[in-house]
Amino acid sequence: MPSEYMLLKEEPFFKELCPNCGARFPEFMRGMVQRPKRFLGVLWRQDYCAVICHECKNIIGWESPPSINKNFT
């Protein structure tokens, strides 16, 4: 299980309603589906954990876990 799962477990919900199907608190498999952290190999970071609706199974957004150590990149 990815460490992001444990970091996002206690965080507030990303969205309250799914924009596709309208399900309430649509998060599913939080922190388990990821894309690369860096965009096109350059040094800026992007959100990398998918927010998936539990009803329609669509990706509705991206989020990152909170950083524990601010000096770690």
With vertex at residue 10, the alpha carbon angle to CA 27 and CA 37, rounded to the nearest 5 degrees, is 65
What residue ranges in the chain does DSSP mark as E strands?
27-28, 49-53, 59-63
Q: Could you report the per-residue pLDDT of 22-65, keeping only the tens digit for each?
A: 888 767 888 888 887 766 656 667 788 888 888 888 888 888 88
- The pLDDT value given to residue 42: 63
Tokens found for residue 27:
């998060």
> pTM to 2 decimals?
0.71
Q: Could you report the per-residue pLDDT of 3-20, keeping only the tens digit for each?
A: 888 888 778 877 788 888
- The pLDDT value given to residue 53: 87
69 pLDDT tier (thresholds 50, 70, 90): very low
